[in-house]
Amino acid sequence: MQLTQKQINEFDSSGYLFFPNAFGTAEVQVLKQAAQDVFREQREEVWREKSGVARTAFAAHTYNDAFRRLGAHPRLIEPVMQLMDGPVYMHQYKVNAKAAFDGDVWQWHQDYGTWARDDKMPEPRAMNIAVFLDDVTAANGPLLFLPGSHKHGVVEAGHDLETTSYPLWTLDRGTVTKLYQQGGCVAPTGDAGSVLMFSSLLVHASPPNISPMDRTIVYLSLCHVENHIRQFKRPEWVAHRDFDPIEPLPDNTLLELAA
């Protein structure tokens, strides 16, 4: 999948792109089953909410074949390579569950802020691409973006170790308010199989999910191979150390598992 010049300009301006229904029903079903499988596993890569339900399955592409294939899917890798102007490696891979009734908040943050502070990633030559495994609505904890906030570089943040089960470098209310006043706030929603691509500098968050609807999203955090991390204090399954470029698989790779 190649981006048009209009899409490239939109990404530069707002910091994100949305692709409705990028994956079909059969492909989504393969991935939903894979998510259920990994969330049942009792392993250190699967973090849980304080309630005990799964919050995040890190590095799922290393122990689940469907997620391995998704991690090299051309519909995801090729447009990122286009924007990064070269080969990319997998810096981080997460399957984020926001379970019905129990899905907790993700505070306001920038991903590159964490990668720079914790992993010594040299530059923000990295981005996220996310695949919806459930319909994402206004009711079940959608992502919230502050459009244009990526143009402010790395903003000041504090290390929140208490709010949720996952530590995060978070922005204070004054900073978020100022950025909101400059560019507004949006919540991209859409069907399962839709895809979001967003800058590693884009300020984002998501509210708790108190609805009766699950909301699961897979995140690939992709980085230019020349921009790989220089510090290794976090576990390898959180911040990966395999800097080899990803070779995209055939477009039908998930359908091979759908039979």
Angle between helices 74-84 and 5-14 (to 10 degrees): 70
- DSSP-assigned letters across all residues of 129-172: EEEESS-B-SSS---EE-TTGGGG-SPP-EEE-SSSSS-EEE--
| CATH code for the part of the protein at 14-237+252-257 | 2.60.120.620
DSSP 224: E
Query: Which residue ranges make up each domain of the chain?
Result: 14-237+252-257
pTM check: above 0.85:
yes
Burial zone of 27 (CB within 10 Å; 0-12 exposed, 13-18 middle, 19+ buried): buried
13: left (phi over 0), alpha (psi -120 to 50) or beta: alpha
Amino acid at 101: F
Do residues 226 and 126 lie in contact, with contact meaning Cβ atoms separated by under 8 Å? no
pLDDT in the model for residue 159: 67
pLDDT in the model for residue 150: 95
Q: What are the 10-residue block averages of pLDDT along the chain, 259 residues in total?
A: 94 97 97 94 84 85 97 98 97 92 86 93 97 96 95 80 63 93 96 97 93 95 98 96 97 92
Burial zone of 232 (CB within 10 Å; 0-12 exposed, 13-18 middle, 19+ buried): exposed
DSSP 161: -
Rounded Cα distance between 43 and 49, Å, is 14
pLDDT in the model for residue 138: 95
